[in-house]
């Protein structure tokens, strides 16, 4: 029988990539609290980012949201005298405050079981992740063990964030009246024909060429654009302001600006669309659970390491596809991420859309066969006790 998991968890999050870091941390915190009935405290340094994806958030130093205690993590915060939690997570190597580290040490001295200390790493599909997941190191000053937890796509990694009822909720949404009601709430006209695409990403010089291709293509496209960096870039390309509700149409393409969405609504958007352009880590994972074709704009790194990560994922993702579709997806993704012309590859990929859609469903089912990230974190603690 498994031991009872440690009850008190602290998650520390510094907001770097707008909503990706806080998006992952907030989903994890909510899932630990709701599915495992754990006492979760989330420390975040930029409350406005959380408020954007979870509107009930208020500008308060401390508040309760969805069963999670949310606290503002200020640069000068002093944790002296505060008892460290049973489990402490540094999200993406954000580094714990020195006074909290001392609290960890004091807790380890007083308790029979030292607190679990995790560094939650960034998601990667690279092969080396399998061997590094779960490895530990001893902090040179504190003498405490820190474990490196790598999310990933293989069974030997830390898995992906996935609430237990997520896919059931997705299928009910797609097959029920909620989808139509949601699109209507966003102002999407019922006569919209052709492909329905969501467009979320970073600034991208490949965008103008792709827009021209969509305008001149054979298939009508309705493209939904939320506020953000790519939307601002798009406004410059079109020389027009795109406020929520705005529409712009040329040829076969209709662009429609939509409001910024909460995490729940964003899941619904991914489920409602035929194809999703996503960015970063959080929306990338959620798009895979949507089981729809996707195009990922990975967070750019100066040394080009992001392209190695992109190729590693594509190697896994395109297995089992026909050569034509595998090649078109690979070149389409690489072109999109390097700001290059992608029109011809888009045409090949979209001609094979039925195969791509079937593959997306199979890929999602394969990922779903492994335990999720929250479950693996809890199980790691249980088996160590």
Q: How far is CA 254 from CA 162, 177, 193, 196, in A?
A: 33, 24, 10, 10
**68, 56 contact by CB (below 8 A):** no
∠ CA 203-27-176, rounded to 5° = 90
Q: What is the distance in angstroms between the CA of the first residue and the CA of the last residue of the chain?
A: 12
**57, 51 contact by CB (below 8 A):** yes
Alpha carbon distance 325, 54 (integer Å): 37
User: Helix-strand-coil percent breakdown of the chain, rounded to 5?
Assistant: 40, 15, 40
Alpha carbon distance 305, 303 (integer Å): 6
Can 112 be counted among the known catalytic residues?
A: no
**350, 333 contact by CB (below 8 A):** no
Query: For tokens 């498994």, what's the residue?
Result: 2
Can 281 be counted among the known catalytic residues?
A: yes
Catalytic-labelled residue, pool 126, 281, 282, 372: 281
Q: List active site positions.
A: 21, 281
């Amino acid at each position: 029988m498994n031991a009872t998991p440690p009850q008190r968890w602290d998650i520390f999050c510094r907001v770097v990539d707008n909503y990706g870091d806080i998006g992952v941390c907030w989903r994890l915190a909510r899932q630990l609290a709701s599915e495992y009935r754990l006492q979760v405290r989330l420390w975040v340094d930029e409350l406005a980012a959380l408020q954007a994806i979870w509107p009930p958030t208020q500008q308060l130093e401390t508040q309760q949201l969805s069963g999670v205690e949310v606290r503002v993590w200020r640069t000068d915060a002093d944790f002296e005298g505060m008892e460290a939690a049973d489990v402490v997570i540094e999200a993406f190597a954000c580094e714990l405050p020195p006074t909290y580290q001392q609290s960890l040490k004091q807790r380890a001295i007083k308790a029979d079981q030292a607190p679990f200390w995790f560094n939650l790493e960034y998601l990667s599909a690279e092969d080396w992740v399998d061997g590094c997941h779960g490895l530990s190191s001893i902090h040179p000053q504190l003498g405490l063990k820190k474990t490196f937890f790598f999310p990933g796509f293989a069974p030997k990694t830390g898995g992906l964030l996935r609430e237990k009822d997520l896919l059931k909720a997705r299928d009910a949404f797609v097959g029920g009246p909620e989808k139509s009601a949601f699109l209507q709430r966003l102002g999407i006209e019922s006569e919209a024909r052709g492909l329905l695409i969501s467009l979320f990403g970073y600034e991208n010089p490949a965008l103008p060429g792709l827009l021209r291709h969509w305008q001149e293509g054979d298939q009508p496209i309705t493209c939904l654009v939320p506020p953000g960096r790519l939307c601002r870039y798009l406004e410059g390309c079109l020389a027009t302001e795109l406020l929520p509700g705005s529409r712009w149409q040329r040829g076969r393409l209709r662009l429609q600006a939509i409001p910024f969405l909460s995490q729940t609504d964003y899941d619904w958007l991914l489920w409602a669309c035929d194809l999703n352009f996503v960015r970063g880590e959080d929306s990338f994972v959620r798009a895979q659970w949507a089981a729809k074709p996707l195009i990922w704009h990975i967070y750019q790194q100066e040394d080009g390491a992001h392209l190695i990560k992109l190729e590693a994922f594509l190697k896994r993702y395109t297995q089992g596809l026909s050569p034509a579709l595998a090649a078109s997806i690979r070149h389409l993704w690489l072109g999109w991420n390097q700001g290059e012309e992608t029109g011809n590859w888009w045409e090949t990929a979209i001609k094979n859309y039925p195969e791509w859609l079937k593959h997306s469903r199979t890929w999602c089912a394969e990922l779903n066969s492994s335990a999720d990230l929250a479950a693996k974190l809890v199980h790691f603690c249980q088996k160590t006790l």
